[in-house]
Every structure is written in C-alpha cells, then in structure tokens.
Amino acid sequence: MRWVDGNDKVKVLSAIGHQTLHRLFAIVESDDYADVQALFTDQMWNGPIEVLPVRDMIAQRKGFGEWGK
C-alpha cells in the first residue's frame, strides 16, 4: 500500500481502515485529479475505488469572514 505515503503531487492527509469490512478511506490533497487517479491506479485492481472531490468548509467560511458568526 505505497499510496499511503503519497508522492510529490498528492499529499495523503489521512488514511484509515475499517478492518471488518476490509474498506480503506483516505483524505488526499492535490491540484490535479489526474495525479490522484495515478496514485491509486495500482489499487484499482483490488476492487472498486470511489474518488469524491470535496472542499474544506471551515476554510471556506474563514475565507468569507463568516467563521464563528
């Protein structure tokens, strides 16, 4: 599972597993979706992978000056 280490284009912020279900979850950060896909290419042979682009809602609220209001 070398993807856990990330690489120079994708930073792995969190990697956790649910052992009973044999499921892995990760939060990664990258500027390009293609780099994320490339990082997980080897894992795609083990089963389905779902990539969901998300945003940091706390950072967004802070950026708008709405944090704590």
Print the domain residue range for 20.
2-63
Please report whether residue 14 resides in a domain.
Answer: yes
Please report whether residue 68 resides in a domain.
Answer: no
Token pair, residue 8, equals 């120079």
Q: Distance from CA of residue 4 to its chain's centroid?
A: 10
Place of tokens 């080897």: 42
Indicate the pTM of the whole model. 0.76
Please report whether residue 13 resides in a domain.
Answer: yes
Please report whether residue 69 resides in a domain.
Answer: no
Task: Tell me what pLDDT residue 69 has.
Answer: 76
Digit-coded pLDDT (tens) for 11-67: 999 999 999 988 889 999 999 999 999 999 888 888 888 888 888 999 999 999 988
Task: Tell me what pLDDT residue 65 has.
Answer: 93
Question: Residue 63 and residue 7: Cα distance in Å, rounded?
Answer: 28
Number of folded domains that form the chain = 1
Please report whether residue 12 resides in a domain.
Answer: yes
Helix (H) or strand (E) holding 23: strand 23-29
